[in-house]
Every structure is written in C-alpha cells, then in structure tokens.
Amino acid sequence: MNLSEYYNAVMELSHGIVITLDETGRIIHGNSRFEVVSGYLTSQIAGLDWFETCVDQRHRAKAKAEFAGIAERGRLSLMKGSLRTKDGRTVYIDWNMKPLFDSQRRLVSVLCVGQDVTAHVERQRKLMHEQDRLMALNKELSCLHAMNRIVANMDSDLPDILHEILALIPPSFQYPEFTGVRLVLDGHSLFSGQYAPEAHSRMEQSVMVHKVKRGHLSVSLQGATQDGISHAFLPTECELLSALAKHVGWIITKREAMDTKRNLERQLQHADRLAKIGQFAAGVAHELNEPLANILGFAQLAAQTPDLPSQVSRDLDNIVKSALHSREIIKKLMIFGRQVPLQKSMVDMNQVIRDTLYFIETGAARNNIGIHLDLSEDLPDIMGDPQHLKQVMVNLMVNAIHAMPDGGTLTIRTLSFNHDVYLLVEDSGVGMETEVLRQIFNPFFTTKDSDQGTGLGLAVVHGIVSAHGGIIDVVSEPGRGTRFEITFPCADPASAAQD
Ligand code: ADP
Ligand code: MG
C-alpha cells in the first residue's frame, strides 16, 4: 500500500469528518462521513472554494481569518466552526486542523478532522434559554412577592401604594438604570425611574379594573450597547409587563372594594348610633308626655277660673305656651325615634313639594332666593304619610333658606330610577364643614341662635325618611352649597294592597 492509499483508508475508517484543503482553501478531498453530513459528493465539489461552498455567509469572514492563522502558526489547531449542508442546514463542528508542508517548508494543504456537535450545541442553547426564562421568572416572582407584601398592608393611600409598587418594577428588568415606568390611572400619571415617552423601546399594557379599562402601564428602555445597538426588551419582559399590569389592576380592585366596605361600615355605624339616640330620646319623650299633659291641662283649667288677678292670668298663659312648646319638642323627638305611627297612603311626591312650596315661596322671595323646580313628569307614587313627608320638605327648605342669607338658588328635583323615587334638595348657600356634617342628624345639634333653630329639623327628617324605608345622603362643600339626596322605595302595588 502506498502512502496515498494508506491515507485514504484512514480517512474512510475515521468516525469523524475529514477534509483536505489546499493552501488557498480549495477543496482537495473529503471522506464519506463528510459526504453523509454535507450532502455533497466530494467528486462534485473538489477544486471549489471551501468557504464559498460549505460555510454560511455569516461565518465566512471569521472562518477564513482563522484558516489563514493556522497556516501562519504551522501547528495543530482546534477551532469551533460550522458547515452549511447542501440543503441549507447548519451543522456545528469542532475542528482539529493540521497544516501540511512540503520539504521546503511550504504550506501545501490543511488536513481538517471534525466532529459533528450540533446536538450538543442545540442542547446547550436550550439550556441557556431555559436559564434565561428561569431568571426572568425569578425576577417576576420576587417583584410580585414584594408587591404582595405592600398590598398586605393596605392602610396607606392608593397613590402611595402605587408609587411603592412602581418603584419595584425597574429592578426586575434587564437594564434597571435605563428602564422607566409610567402608570396612567383615570387620567393621572405616576412615574418611576427615567420614563422616556420617545424611547426607542417602549411597551404598554392596559390596566383593567372590573373588566373596565382604567388606564395603562408603560415601560420605556433607553441606552445602547457598546456596539451602538439600542437596548431592546426581552420576550420574557413583555410577559412580565402583562403580569404586572394585571397585578396593578387587581390591587386597585381590592383597594377600592376595601374603601367601599369601610364606607358602608361607617354609614352603618352612624345609622346604628342614630337609632340608639332615637330610642333613648323617644323613651324620655314618652315619659315626659304624661306629666306635660297634666301641666297643660291643669294650667288651661286654672286659666278658666273667673276673676283671676291679671298677673296670675298672664303667668298661666305663659305656662300654657311653654307646655305647648315642650309638647312640640316631645313630638319631634318621638318622630325622630320613630315612635309616631304613619298614616300611609299612595303619595305623589311632586304634589307634596308643590303643597309645601306654597308656604315657603314668600319667605324665599323676601330673601332674594330663586326657586328652581325640576320635577319628573312620570314619577311613581310612594307609600307614605303625606303630613310627615310635607314636614321633611319644610325642614329641608327652611334650612336651605337659612343657609343663603345673601340670596341664591334653591333647586328641588325629583326623578325615578329602578323602582326608586329620588328627591334632591340643593342650595347654593354657605355649605358645611365635615365636623358639622358629621352631626347634623343628631337631635339638638344646631349652629344657629336659639331663636332660629332647635337642632331638631334634620333629626325629624331622618326619622321620617327611615320610617318610610328611605335613605338620606348629604353632599356639602363650604362656600359652595349643600345637596340633600333622599331615596324612597317606590310603592309596590302588591305590598301596598297588603298594607
Ligand atoms: P336647626 O336648623 O334647628 O339648626 P337642623 O337639624 O335643621 O337644626 O340642622 C342642624 C344644623 O345643620 C344646622 O344648624 C346647620 O348648621 C346645618 N344645616 C342644615 N341644613 C343646612 C344647609 N342646607 N346648609 C348648611 N347647613 C345646614
Ligand atoms: Mg332646621
């Protein structure tokens, strides 16, 4: 066997890919393993440039440079490379290359022996990808975990909570120092980091609360790598933003539900307290009623005695007047404590308003107050006591007139919605501070001089509205005015018949 035959036999027996290139990189020979992997027949590509034929354009310049280096170094070299197959696939190969010289030490060819490591490279890539994914997941989880810790202590205001949460977001992104966050909620913006609306990379996710879009969460990414390529978001970061936007929506939902609950609790406590005061007041009133009736009766009887000295007659008159006044107060306390039975019938609230206005109009005009009526034309009747309901209107209107010493507008509106009748009494008067607002339904609470108010007007209103199964709400702003909103359940003909 001559050397060439021996050499060919070794090439064929080798498990690896074996090729021989000339000193310029042209293909001299390839073994059968090469043919199997590349899809080429050596006889077809012998003489062609290796790099043009079998190396992907992206890797060509680098491969050529390394090849030139081997010739220069003149010894065995290891190198990682790739091979583009006839049908365009990329096969990754670890090459061992040996330059071969003639007797004058001139490079004649390069012997390349390679191992197909594609499966290994792909496994490694998958692992790296998996590692990236786990790292992103880890960041996401720690961010969400930190958010949950903030949410667990929800006592601060919502904007403060949201600020804390936004501050957690940049650190969970790849380039925290270049990442800016903006949250737009109900038209208001909150920021964290250097948010850049003009940034090259920017993404946005809607913030939904109860399936309603309330705003959006945006992230911007500025800056560039050393090669001048602009920073870009990772695919996992798009997912992270979507998870964060969902979480922010959830936090807002939870927080608002808590606020509603607290408000309801407060209202319930208030109603409960008023009911207790009512019980107490009505108890006292009830006890005083009988002795008072005696005082009144005996005074009236005594006043009828003939030939009374005029001073005694005047004194008895005063006793009668005071007793009548006390009886009024007792009656009001009984109404507040809901101890006065209602004389119910079907009542048209619009009619009640018109009847009451009759008494009020003159006083209003004298005080330079315009009355604006906006009464719903198809207002359903309610089941109620017309006299008591008139009392409600009188008390609210008198208060409104008192609240507008320099004139203004008194607006009275009725409307119906969902089987309820709404009555709104609004003035453009002095309004109330929160501290006053808190106490207005308490009996004897007044800010007026004793000749103008006893502080029983709104207590009576509250008693009557509650006895009708209604709800009363007040909105007031100092210097702007006050609106009383009363809701009465509409009379259901079936239950009305039962009544
Ligand atoms: P009174 O009118 O006898 O003071 P009320 O129970 O009718 O008692 O009202 C209690 C207090 O509520 C009033 O003293 C006043 O301070 C406040 N108030 C009631 N209605 C109004 C209103 N429309 N505008 C401003 N303050 C009001
Ligand atoms: Mg009053």
Q: Look up the CATH number of the domain holding residue 415.
A: 3.30.565.10
Judge if the beta carbon of residue 448 lies within 6 A of ligand 1: yes
One domain, residues 355 and 481:
yes
One domain, residues 233 and 136:
yes
Evaluate whether residue 292 is within a structural domain.
Answer: no
Judge if the beta carbon of residue 444 lies within 6 A of ligand 1: no
- State residue 229's pLDDT score: 82
Which of 426, 446, 462 has most ligand 1 atoms within 8 Å of CB, for mutation? 446
Residue whose Cα lies nearest atom 11 of ligand 1: it is: 446
* Last residue within a domain, chosen from 87, 116, 145: 116
- State residue 496's pLDDT score: 45
One domain, residues 364 and 463:
yes
pLDDT digits (tens, 9 = 90+) for 184-207: 999 999 999 889 999 889 999 999
One domain, residues 145 and 41:
no
Strand 408-417, strand 369-375: pairing: parallel
- State residue 450's pLDDT score: 83
Evaluate whether residue 348 is within a structural domain.
Answer: yes
Atom nearest to 403 CA in ligand 1 = 24
Question: What are the backbone dihedrals phi and psi of residue 18, each rounded to the nearest 5 degrees, phi first?
Answer: -125, 125
Closest CA to 392 of 294, 485, 295: 485
One domain, residues 357 and 477:
yes
Q: Look up the CATH number of the domain holding residue 51.
A: 3.30.450.20
pLDDT at 374 over 80: yes
One domain, residues 137 and 252:
yes
Evaluate whether residue 295 is within a structural domain.
Answer: no
Ligand 2 centroid – CA 273 distance (Å): 20
Which of 427, 440, 441 has most ligand 1 atoms within 8 Å of CB, for mutation? 440
pLDDT digits (tens, 9 = 90+) for 85-124: 999 999 999 999 999 998 998 888 999 999 999 999 999 9
The residues placing their C-beta within 5 Å of ligand 2, an ion, are: 399, 457
One domain, residues 197 and 175:
yes
Evaluate whether residue 205 is within a structural domain.
Answer: yes
One domain, residues 390 and 481:
yes
Residue whose Cα lies nearest atom 20 of ligand 1: it is: 399
Evaluate whether residue 170 is within a structural domain.
Answer: yes
One domain, residues 458 and 364:
yes
pLDDT at 375 over 60: yes
* Last residue within a domain, chosen from 61, 81, 116: 116
* Last residue within a domain, chosen from 69, 93, 116: 116
User: For the chain, percent helix, then strand, then coil, each to nearest 5?
Assistant: 50, 25, 25
- State residue 499's pLDDT score: 44
pLDDT at 21 over 50: yes
Ligand 2 centroid – CA 365 distance (Å): 19
Query: Would you place residue 15 in the very low, low, confident or very high pLDDT band (cuts 50, 70, 90)?
Result: confident
- List, in sequence order, every beta strand (DSSP E) within 105-172: 107-116
Evaluate whether residue 273 is within a structural domain.
Answer: no
One domain, residues 238 and 136:
yes
Judge if the beta carbon of residue 369 lies within 6 A of ligand 1: no
- State residue 1's pLDDT score: 62
Q: Look up the pTM and report it.
A: 0.61
Ligand 1 centroid – CA 84 distance (Å): 91
Distance (Å, whole) CA 15 – CA 11: 9
pLDDT at 3 over 80: no
Q: Look up the CATH number of the domain holding residue 247.
A: 3.30.450.40
pLDDT digits (tens, 9 = 90+) for 250-268: 989 988 898 899 988 988 8
Evaluate whether residue 352 is within a structural domain.
Answer: yes
Evaluate whether residue 212 is within a structural domain.
Answer: yes
Mean pLDDT over 296-301 rounds to 96
Sign of the dihedral through C-alpha 346, 350, 351, 353: positive
CA distances from residue 104 to 25, 100, 108, 306 in whole angstroms, order as listed: 20, 11, 10, 162
User: Which pair of structure tokens corresponds to residue 25?
Assistant: 């990189």
pLDDT at 498 over 50: no
Ligand 1 centroid – CA 440 distance (Å): 6
Judge if the beta carbon of residue 445 lies within 6 A of ligand 1: yes
Question: What domain range is 247 assigned to?
Answer: 128-256
Q: How many CB atoms lie within 10 A of CB 275?
A: 15
Which ligand has the minimum distance to the alpha carbon of residue 449?
1
One domain, residues 133 and 98:
no
pLDDT digits (tens, 9 = 90+) for 126-158: 999 898 888 878 888 888 888 888 877 777 888
Domain tally, the chain: 3
Mean pLDDT over 235-244 rounds to 88
One domain, residues 136 and 230:
yes
Ligand 2 centroid – CA 357 distance (Å): 16
Distance (Å, whole) CA 115 – CA 64: 19
Q: Do 203 and 231 contact (CB within 8 A), yes or no?
A: no
Judge if the beta carbon of residue 458 lies within 6 A of ligand 1: yes
